[in-house]
Structure 1
Amino acid sequence: MEEPFGDDCFAIRQAARYVSQIYDRHLASVGLTITQFSVLCRLRRTGPMTMKQLADAMRMQRTTLVRTIQPLRRNGLVLSEAPLADARALSLTLTAEGQTRLEAGRKHWYAAQAEFEHSFGAQRAHALRGELFAMTNHL
């Protein structure tokens, strides 16, 4: 068995935690995590989505998404409704308060982005994004 330093998954997860901490630190002042911010961005960009659609689009397990959505619902940033056609399929919608919080978080997101790109290098960050999105077919 190879040393842990040859473990691609460990290296990616460690880097993801490090980068998430940067973004979470910046977004804390508006009461959001980077995952919550990303959910709000997705809902703003696409409009209402079911939990399944959102989980699939974000490559998240539904249980993880439920834990992310709960505080957003509780704080009035996201509305969840069951359509009449299928009460089992919750539809998630960004509320006006959610839009306001998203806009408040935008400058903090840009600051986190700038911090990461400053320490990692803008060109390397761009190339890394391309590789990671290619891995999940999100280009």
Structure 2
Amino acid sequence: MSGRGSNEGVNRSNCSSTTLRKASRRLSLLYDAALAPCGLKTTQRAILAQIRRSEPASVGSLADALVMDSGALAHTLKPLERDGFIVHHINPEDRRQRLIKLTARGRSKLEESDTLWVQAQDAFDLALGKTESAMLRKALQSVLSDELAENFKRSLVNQNGFRTG
């Protein structure tokens, strides 16, 4: 039996999602090791850097920028707040919204991590190759695009009549 819905001939080791998740975990481990001297994990540094770029930031806008679920982000923010790297307060224009800002301690920690992050980035470029690294980032930007997400959803509907959220 072949056709729509058939698993015949599927190469499960060629799954884009699984390969990307594995690569992401590997890269996170490498960057975490590079950032270890400053005490931040890659995810924490990414969040602090995004806050620096967009502060004050709401949890929702921060989650959107980081392509994270708001609940998962709120959970990840707790240790950063506990350690005094961020503060949040109620948005005076919309009391339902919390605005997040870096503290002086958070800004200092982020600056401390900047040099380590640049070293990690340079090491990655050298290990993979500058051209390959640039091509990878370009491809990943395409994966992050809203256009890809819409095309993916449309393809699922066209293939199976499958509806996505």
Q: State TM-score, norm by structure 1.
A: 0.92
**Pairing 1:36–2:44 present:** yes
Residue 5 of structure 1 aligns to a residue in which SS?
A: helix
The alpha-carbon deviation at position 88 of structure 1 amounts to 2.4
The Cα shift of 1:24 comes to 0.8
Deviations 1:41-65 (A, max 9, x none): 1111122110000001111011221
**Corresponding residue number in structure 1 for 2:160:** none
8 Å CA contact 1:48–1:93 kept in 2: the answer is yes
Match of residue 9, structure 1, among 10, 13, 17? 17
Q: Give matches, 1:1-139, under 5 Å.
A: 1=7, 2-137=10-145
* Residue type of the alignment partner of 2:50: R
Aligned residues between the structures: 138
CA shift, 1:115, in A, is 2.0
Structure with larger Rg: 2
Q: CA RMSD in A?
A: 1.5
Identical aligned residues as a percent: 31
TM-fit CA distance, 1:85? 3.6
Cα displacement (A) at 1:37: 0.6
Please say which of residues 77-86 and 8-17 is displaced more in the overlay.
Answer: 77-86
Q: Secondary structure at the match of 1:116?
A: helix
Gaps of 5+ in 1: none
Give the drift of 1:99: 0.7
Structure scoring higher RCO (CA < 8 A, sep ≥ 6) equals 1
1:73-113, Cα deviation, whole Å (9 max, x unpaired) = 00111111112343321111011111100010011111211
Given that 1:4 and 1:10 are in contact with CA atoms closer than 8 Å, whether structure 2 keeps it comes out as no
Residue matched to 2:151: none
TM-score by length of 2: 0.78
Q: C-alpha separation between the residues in 2 aligned to 1:85 and 1:44? A: 21
